């Protein structure tokens, strides 16, 4: 089992930037797809971005994240990042690091979540 710990959330004004980090430990995760999801109050958890831990480092983005968010990873640090630029109030949510897939049903491990609040 892989353990995931997020950090980097906070309060930012619209148009600002934040960088989320996810530190992984435990079971080898070289075959995992690593992803970010988010959940706003009263809404279902939704996919934001994902990247393969090995191989070509193919990245996947939700339409809402394309052009504004960038997912990356550092193998040596066993960490994944989400650079979020041009933030909007609708980006306000708890952001979760996940291991396993692009859909909630495919996720094998979740982090505890980090709050991102974007003020207008």
Give the pLDDT confidence score for residue 61 in this predicted structure. 97
Tell me what pLDDT residue 56 has: 65
- pLDDT number for residue 29: 61
* The predicted structure's pLDDT at residue 53: 72
**Centroid of chain to Cα 29:** 16
pLDDT tens, the chain, 120 aa long:
789 999 999 999 999 999 999 999 887 666 679 999 999 999 999 999 999 877 667 899 999 999 999 999 888 888 999 999 999 999 999 999 999 889 999 999 999 999 999 999
Instruction: Please list, in sequence order, all residues whose beta carbon lies within 8 angstroms of the beta carbon of residue 90, skipping any fewer than 6 positions away.
Output: 40, 64, 118
- Structure token digits, residue 110: 């979740």
User: What pLDDT does residue 13 have?
Assistant: 98
- Residue 65 · residue 87 · CB < 8 Å: no
The token pair that represents 15 in the structure block: 């148009």
- The answer to whether the beta carbons of residues 85 and 66 sit under 8 Å apart is no
Instruction: Kindly list the distances between the CA atom of residue 60 and the CA atoms of 37, 42, 48, 109, in Å, as whole numbers in the listed order.
Output: 12, 25, 8, 19
């Amino acid at each position: 089992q892989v353990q995931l710990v997020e950090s980097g959330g906070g309060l930012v004004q619209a148009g600002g930037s934040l960088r989320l980090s996810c530190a992984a430990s435990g079971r080898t995760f070289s075959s995992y797809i690593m992803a970010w999801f988010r959940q706003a109050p009263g809404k279902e958890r939704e996919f934001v971005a994902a990247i393969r831990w090995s191989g070509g480092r193919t990245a996947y983005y939700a339409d809402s994240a394309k052009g504004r968010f960038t997912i990356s990873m550092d193998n040596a640090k066993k960490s994944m990042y989400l650079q979020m630029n041009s933030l909007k109030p609708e980006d306000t949510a708890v952001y979760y690091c996940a291991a396993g897939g692009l859909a909630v049903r495919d996720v094998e491990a979740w982090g505890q979540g980090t709050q991102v609040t974007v003020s207008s």
